[in-house]
Structure 1
Amino acid sequence: MLPPRFLLLLACGLLLTAPSPAQTRYPTPVEGDFTLPRFQFASGETLPALNVHYTTVGQPRKDGKGRINNAVVIMHGTTGAGANFLGEQFAGHLFGPGQLLDAAKYYIILPDAIGHGKSSRPSNGLRMQFPKYTYDDMVTANHRLLTEKLGVAHARLVMGTSMGGMETWVWGYRYPDFMDALMPLASLPVEIAGRNRMLRKMAIDLIEMDPEWKGGAYTTEPKTGLTGAISSLIFMTSSPKQMQKAAPTRELAEAALAKTEARFFGSLDANDMIYQFDASRDYNPAPHLAAIKAPLFAINSADDQVNPPELGILETEIKKVNKGRYILLPITDLTTGHGTHSNPAIWGQYLQELLSLSEKSKL
């Protein structure tokens, strides 16, 4: 039997384990929905009603002027959902009493991005007629969720993992006065190009090449195309060192792959996946980084196959961020490639430093 840690690794760090009763040492999470009528996307398309689903942990706290001052926004990765952060590995190390994001102190907001979780997505019925959303649309919807629904006009911290990390960069330049601090994890603030875009395009093409996809009008998932897309996803977010350690024989490796594929088949929709992988097509914060005002710590892991350090991108781009810092985590027995973004036991010290630094900068 493979250890649960390895199964989580193979799930790419994008889908975290759900909490068990024993894990919830923090206030009970509360789910909610916010409907945005006639939501207009960056493409110019509109949706009569866009639903944004979210989960909150903790309660809002107001300052002397009646403004909420303890909101923390955490955004998930591709194919994930906000509630995925409620597992032991993440929430169990952050949201409990005395921990860095103690939910008795902070108002933690975990939105489901457009096209993900319980928010509006193609698989709800529109299929390939769903508007072609982008990361900008996700950030716009989340900003409206906070300001119009939750009454949050300023956040203590905005952070995210993978896709959520990329959204964090967008938050930073589009709403530079909205937050005290920013922490993008496992992301780069440049256009998705090179191998990253190639792998995303391969996943999309493999689905659309499957005759059973039927232009998005399938009644059962196009398994051949979806298998190919899942292969791209596994490769993108793999950790060669951890995979070799956990599956050192052919039998173990093939058993692990079969379990991982089965897990993905049970949670992914082909049309949703096409949209999710293509949503990054016009992402490119690089020209706007100088507009970011809040202290920003960008954290990547040296074994991240999605954002490999040898590209040398963050060393250059972080110089454009006035209060920016790039932190590259070395490969250790604890890092799990791209999925390291969801393990605060590894990078928590930097979150603590960022919270302290940004608190002082407010004074």
Structure 2
Amino acid sequence: MLDDVKVEYMTFGTPIFDENGVIINAIVYCHGSLGKYSSMKKIAPLVGNGDVFDENKYFFISITALGSPSSCSPSTTGLNNKFPRYTILDVVNFQKQFLKEKFNIEHVLGIIGNSMGGFVGLTSAIKYPDFADFLITGVSSYKVAGHDFILSKFVDEIITSDPDYAKGELTYSLIRTLRLANLAEFNFGLSKESLRAMSNVELAAEFENFGNEMLETDIYDLKYCNESCMNFNVENDLDKVKSKVLIISCKQDPHFPPELDGIPMSEMIDDSQLIVMDSKLGHLCFNELESIRNELKEFMENFDDC
């Protein structure tokens, strides 16, 4: 149990209050693995006057999740491998407690979750069915299985195979191991089409740059976050979702292809809609949300009177 922990966040938009002074138009943005509050910039092209996420109509709160750097995490607490293991439900509860303590919010208009953020949003909708009126989950799933489980297992194996991991302090060996663990993820971002369009020389350079850039992450943050995602599975609880759900998949997503994740999830959640994007960005397609502006706008019209 950790007390008085650090929470990094940002807000954007216009809060609207009820007669009791409680914000009624809050939308919570949940980022992907080891992301941060600034990941909310993915919806920036859609916040103009009259647009899908009109800043005059909605009040956005984006929280750097439990386990991610700059909020309470293995690295920021200095606990490293002594940090308590956490689940996606713990991430949800961390978020809910913060919203209550900081904003006195116990109900939100909606949740938008990207990748791991989709795990968070879906878990919230299952565990607390009356918490959010809607959920938008993007390039995500209801469980980590198959090739995604093996990827997470592989990353975990790379990290724990380094004998220095147990020391709880950063060593040269762990820096090298961190780079290798992150490089295992390289092939699961952009679409196969995008990768094939590059020459091998270009790919090698991108691969090298990716490994170097990811050295900014912390190996203990990565280990704990990867483990929490690896154990995610809410397949048997999808019937508990009461929020209206919009599922966004991408047909070129190497992580969560629609036929394995988005489509089955839409069939298991009663009040859900499915959009399948066509984007060579693959798993990174949330950076092109303006390409489905009309579909998003149609969905958000359900909440104009909320």
| TM-score for both structures, normalised by structure 2 | 0.92
The answer for the alignment partner of 1:200 in structure 2 is 152
Q: Distance in 1 between matches of 2:19 and 2:150?
A: 51
Q: Distance in 2 between matches of 1:304 and 1:67?
A: 39
Q: Residue type matched to 2:79 in 1?
A: L
SS of the residue aligned with 2:62? strand
The answer for the alignment partner of 2:120 in structure 1 is 167
Higher mean displacement: 141-150 or 155-164: 141-150
Distance 1:221 1:153, change over 3 A: farther
Q: Is the counterpart of residue 251 in structure 1 residue 172 in structure 2?
A: no
Higher mean displacement: 281-290 or 126-135: 281-290
Q: Distance in 1 between matches of 2:34 and 2:295?
A: 26
SS of the residue aligned with 1:184? strand
CA contact (8 A) 1:134 1:281 kept: no
Residue 323 of structure 1: how far off its partner (Å): 0.8
Where structure 2 has 5 or more consecutive residues not aligned to the other structure, the ranges are none
Residue 240 of structure 1: how far off its partner (Å): 1.6
Distance 1:228 1:162, change over 3 A: same
Q: Distance in 1 between matches of 2:167 and 2:254?
A: 31
The answer for the alignment partner of 1:356 in structure 2 is 301
TM-align CA RMSD? 2.0
The answer for the alignment partner of 1:227 in structure 2 is 179
Aligned length: 305
Q: Distance in 2 between matches of 1:49 and 1:67?
A: 24
Q: Distance in 2 between matches of 1:316 and 1:219?
A: 44
Where structure 1 has 5 or more consecutive residues not aligned to the other structure, the ranges are 1-45
| 1:66-96 CA distance string (max 9 Å, x none) | 331110111000021011323xxx2430233
CA contact (8 A) 1:60 1:106 kept: yes
Q: Distance in 2 between matches of 1:228 and 1:300?
A: 28
| 1:288-336 CA distance string (max 9 Å, x none) | 211211210111101111112343x44334233221122222x3xx431
The answer for the alignment partner of 1:240 in structure 2 is 192
SS of the residue aligned with 1:128? helix
| 1:214-263 CA distance string (max 9 Å, x none) | 54322457233122211221122231212233x2x222221222222211
Q: Residue type matched to 1:341 in 2?
A: F
CA contact (8 A) 1:74 1:110 kept: yes
Identity %: 27
Which of 132, 135, 140 is the aligned partner of 2:85?
132
Q: Distance in 1 between matches of 2:178 and 2:55?
A: 38
Distance 1:255 1:290, change over 3 A: same
Normalized per residue, the structure richer in helix is 2
Q: Residue type matched to 2:274 in 1?
A: Y
| TM-score for both structures, normalised by structure 1 | 0.78
SS of the residue aligned with 2:242? coil
Residue 171 of structure 1: how far off its partner (Å): 1.4
Residue 349 of structure 1: how far off its partner (Å): 2.6
| 1:129-181 CA distance string (max 9 Å, x none) | 00101110010111111122112232122111000011111111122112221
